[in-house]
């Protein structure tokens, strides 16, 4: 995602952020790239259902609407294929 967006910071959150190995890999990658890496304390790394709901609220407030049949999960969705329509 850093390479696709040109960003210089990585924030690892949600349940996956509880993985010690992933934390280590992200830290190494960011060190090698000269990027900053942030991760919350372990006890705050839980399922990110609340973040998903909040993201949905942001999109809804920005006017985005979808038909139920268009809300299926895209497991191999690349970060550079996401339309960020709520930031302008």
Q: What is the pLDDT along the chain (88 residues), one digit of tens a residue?
A: 888 889 999 999 888 899 999 999 999 999 999 999 999 988 888 877 777 888 888 889 988 898 989 888 777 877 778 777 777 6
Query: So what's the pLDDT on residue 39?
Result: 94
- Please, what CATH class does the domain formed by 2-65 belong to? alpha beta
9 by Cβ neighbours in 10 Å (0-12 / 13-18 / 19+) ranks as exposed
Whole-prediction pTM: 0.54
Query: So what's the pLDDT on residue 20?
Result: 94
Q: For residues 27 and 16, give the distance between their C-alpha atoms in angstroms, rounded to a whole number.
A: 14
- Report domain extents, the chain: 2-65
């Amino acid at each position: 995602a850093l390479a696709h967006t040109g960003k210089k910071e990585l924030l690892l959150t949600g349940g996956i952020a509880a993985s010690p190995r992933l934390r280590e890999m992200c830290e190494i990658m960011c060190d090698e790239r000269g990027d900053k890496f942030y991760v919350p304390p372990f006890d705050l790394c839980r399922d990110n259902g609340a973040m998903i709901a909040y993201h949905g609220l942001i999109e809804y407030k920005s006017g985005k609407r979808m038909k139920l049949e268009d809300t299926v999960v895209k497991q191999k969705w690349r970060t550079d294929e996401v339309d960020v329509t709520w930031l302008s």
